[in-house]
Amino acid sequence: MTLPRLASAFALSLVLALGGCGEEPVRPSAEAIAAAQAEIARTPPRQPRLMPSDEAQAVLRRIDQRIRPAAVKECRARGGDRCAWSVAYEPAATFNAFASGRDRIVMFGGIFALARSEEEIAMVLAHEKAHHILDHVAETNRNAGIGAFVADILVSVGAVWIAQELGLPLPAALVDSLRSAAAGAGAQAGVLAFSIENEKEADALAAAILHASGYDLDAARGMIVTMGSMAKGDRTPNFLRTHPAGPERLAHWETVVSGLRRAQAASPPQLLADAAR
Ligand SMILES: [Zn+2]
């Protein structure tokens, strides 16, 4: 291993360690959570803007191509044997996305309607890829003891609201399944959700992937703020709200991003760029 290779391997492992990814969970401070809470409290929920299907699909393809090299690298670094994912666009206005099966990812129209930048959409796609890279789908199914369909509830709330705002038909059958899950019929409906720890790991790895792909993490964080501001009026039962509640999630993101930036400051940029390839 040449010196630059060794240094880049070190830089990458530093990024991964700081990014969490299961080995070293990132714990935001109480001050960071309070600051996140204040920001979310003063951020009004966004009005959805319908993005035409063809435009949304083009944006999704562009993001997928841009983050793929870094995602594949993270996957291979973990010994993944399937580091290619099938990414589909689903026009329903649900504010949600999925990682399911061995390689499937579905991004719903509601994400595109609420996003205000490509970075924000990229954050969601990188998060879903991270669930696959970290083997969360299989882990969740194993824990449940059944081969169920894992739903990634970004904000299951808001789905009906978005559909109404856009004048679209009510969201996909998925939302109904989630509501059945709320009624205690989760296993019967075949819908599971990732654990909060899995969600934090997926956010941390998503940040590392976006960073390595040259996306602006400050722009991407808008999606986390939006999830928090939309969840303010959330009546989803706590046990169903599998994603960390808004302020904790935003504070976790901030802590992960500071760690990535410290790692970058400690390493020459070309090494991080090299590490990302
Ligand atoms: Zn998730």
Q: pLDDT tens, 90-110?
A: 888 777 788 888 898 989 888
Tell me which of 87 and 239 has the higher pLDDT.
87
Q: How far is the CA of 7 from the centre of ligand 1 (A)?
A: 32
Q: How far is the CA of 202 from the centre of ligand 1 (A)?
A: 6
Q: How far is the CA of 124 from the centre of ligand 1 (A)?
A: 8
Does residue 183 register a pLDDT over 50? no
214 within domain boundaries: yes
Q: How far apart are CA 61 and CA 219, in angstroms?
A: 19
25 within domain boundaries: no
Share of the chain above pLDDT 90, in %: 37
230 within domain boundaries: yes
Give the pLDDT score at 23: 46
272 within domain boundaries: no
Share of the chain above pLDDT 70, in %: 64
| Residue 223 near residue 115 (C-beta atoms within 8 A) | yes
The mean pLDDT of 23-31, rounded to a whole number, is: 77
Give the pLDDT score at 44: 87
Q: pLDDT tens, 187-231?
A: 434 455 677 788 889 999 999 999 999 999 999 999 999 888 876
Q: How far is the CA of 152 from the centre of ligand 1 (A)?
A: 5
| Residue 215 burial class via C-beta count within 10 angstroms: exposed 0-12, middle 13-18, buried 19 and up | buried
Q: Which two tokens stand for residue 221?
A: 């964080």
For all residues of the chain together, what is the average pLDDT? 75
Convert 188-210 to b/e letters by CB count within 10 Å (16 or more is b). Answer: ebbbbbbeeebbbbbbbbbbbbb
Q: How far is the CA of 207 from the centre of ligand 1 (A)?
A: 13
Q: pLDDT tens, 145-165?
A: 655 556 665 544 444 444 445
Q: How far is the CA of 153 from the centre of ligand 1 (A)?
A: 7
Q: Could you give the 3-state DSSP secondary structure of residue 239? A: helix
Q: List the domain range (segments joined by +) for residue 170.
A: 46-245
Tell me which of 169 and 216 has the higher pLDDT.
216
Q: How far is the CA of 6 from the centre of ligand 1 (A)?
A: 32
Q: Is the pTM of this model over 0.85?
A: no
Q: What's the structural domain count of the chain?
A: 1
Q: How far is the CA of 1 from the centre of ligand 1 (A)?
A: 36
Q: How far is the CA of 275 from the centre of ligand 1 (A)?
A: 25
